[in-house]
Copies of this chain bind each other. A is one copy, B any other.
């Protein structure tokens, strides 16, 4: 019943990767789990493949035999430039170039809010708004969106870039009331990206059906993503746990939150 027979999940040992695995065979009859560390508790339809995204040959071997990729791997928050470069810039190139060489036809890419983190929280943007990354991490996400556009325009490999907000069990701070993506909604969205007959190259914002929003996801409406969770259900709890923010604090002012308030990561390293 699934459109794809053998899907590679990168970053499979991370939080999002582990969540995806709970979908079982819904995604595909056969799922290859790749990460720098082994995945545990393999199910019958799962196979493990340890690989560093920065190593092209390893990545090509991970990709070989698969017809779709859910690319969650890489550095998932701001970090040293060397890590961003290796895991996200070189790593994502390796994934796309391996996909081209191996005939993969569709990739679901975990992009991020931090590709557009410097928009003011009071602006509602859609997917055509120019990137305003808030970190080197965000720069690497915008880079991958453009790289995947190139692989679609020239080689026909389809991609959905999911600009993930804050994917956690529940909203943990006031900004999450806007950006929260529940695990269930995340799984549903990935499934929709796989089921759609055609995705071309598309950018989809990825949050739950929160009352608060600064994103207009209209340009991805063909995916049929119908989120069911709403961060507003946790508002009282969150308000009780957290202090009010100052509207002029960069962490409150901009969509990217605390990423906008931080300096250059490598400075921190030196100071630390």
Residues of chain A having any CB pair with chain B under 8 Å: 1, 3, 81, 85, 89-90, 93, 97, 100, 105, 118, 120-124, 128, 130-136, 138-139, 142-143, 146-147, 149-150, 153-156, 158, 174-175, 177-178, 195-202, 210-214, 216, 218-226, 232, 239-240, 244-245, 247-248, 252-253, 260, 263-264
Residue of B nearest to A131 (CB): B146
29 pairs of residues in contact across A and B, judged by CB atoms under 8 Å: A1-B239, A85-B90, A89-B89, A105-B247, A118-B150, A118-B153, A118-B154, A121-B197, A122-B199, A122-B202, A122-B222, A124-B220, A128-B128, A131-B146, A133-B149, A134-B153, A136-B150, A138-B150, A139-B146, A143-B143, A155-B264, A174-B197, A178-B224, A197-B252, A200-B247, A210-B224, A211-B224, A212-B222, A226-B232
Q: Tell me, rounded to whole Å, the shortest Cβ–Cβ distance linking A247 to chain B.
A: 4
Could you tell me the distance between the alpha carbons of A130 and B125 in the complex, rounded to whole angstroms? 14
A225 to B213, CA, bound (A): 10
Residue from A105, A150, A214, A245 having most chain B Cβ neighbours under 10 A: A150
A128-B130, A138-B150 are contacts. A212–B216 as well, Cβ < 8 Å? no
**Residues in B whose Cβ lies below 8 Å from that of A89:** 85, 89
CA distance A11 to B31 in the complex (A): 47
CB pair B149–A247 under 8 Å, yes or no, is no
Residue from B134, B155, B245 within 8 A of A198 (CB atoms): B245
- The distance in angstroms between the C-alpha atoms of A124 and B127, with both chains bound, is 12
- Given known A81-B93, A132-B149, A200-B122, contact A222–B213 (CB-CB < 8 A): yes
Contact yes or no, B150 A143, CB < 8 A:
no
A211 and B225 contact, CB distance less than 8 A: yes
A138 to B136, CA, bound (A): 19
Q: How far is the CA of A24 from the CA of B177 in the complex (A)?
A: 25
Which of A81, A100, A221 has the most C-beta atoms of chain B within 10 angstroms of its own C-beta? Answer: A221
**Is the pair A124, B218 in contact by a Cβ cutoff of 8 Å?**
yes
- Chain B residues whose CB sits within 8 angstroms of the CB of A211 once the complex forms: 224-226
Q: Is the CB of B218 within 8 A of A216?
A: yes
Closest to A210 in B: B224
Contacts of A213 in B (CB 8 A): 221-222, 224
Given contacts A85-B93, A178-B222, 5 further A-B contacts (CB under 8 A): A3-B244, A121-B222, A154-B260, A211-B226, A213-B222
Q: Specify which of A154, A200, A225, A253 lies most central, judged by the most chain B CB atoms within 10 Å of its CB.
A: A154
